Structure 1
Amino acid sequence: MAPKKIGAGKGDSSILAKISNYDIVSQGRRAACDAVYVSKKLLKSTGKAAWIAGTTFLILAVPLILELEQDHRLGEIDFEQASLLGTPPVGAML
């Protein structure tokens, strides 16, 4: 014989029904649903904003960074060639 569960009686469902009919419970449920709705909208818009920011960074900033790095490398090569050929660096002529 299975043991009888505590709280599984007939009176519990009527208590739950009474509690769920309270105005404060329905307001709390409505507030929770509204919070979930706002959270979903916020996550969706945040994801869109992150995608836009990431794409903009890839289109605008990455080529700029690559160009600056290439310019820096060319400057180093010019300085190295100038030092090998014996010409004074540009800053030393002052």
Structure 2
Amino acid sequence: MPSNKVKQVALMLKAIHSQESLEAAREKAGRVTEQLRAIRLGKAAEWVEQHIDKTLSYYCYPQNRWTRITINNPLERIMREIRRRTRIVRVFP
């Protein structure tokens, strides 16, 4: 079960990526890095600062394509399939 801090960081990252525009997402990323440093997660804050532009690259495409970009991600597809199968089985063999 994830710890409270892990859940908190996940919510922060989702908040960055749910912004309406690239500028708003970058502003939110700045606020998130400040929050991460405030809760003593300096390495996570550094990682966000260094890699956030890579994760926000989908903003360069029209908004109606954003969902297709995430759906076509092979890693996400694999993880979704694993989740689907484990929900049916409920236990790993």
Both structures adopt the same fold (TM-score exceeding 0.5): no
Bigger Rg over Cα: 1
Q: Give the number of the structure with larger relative contact order, counting CA–CA contacts within 8 Å between residues 6 or more apart.
A: 2
**TM-score normalized with structure 1 length:** 0.25
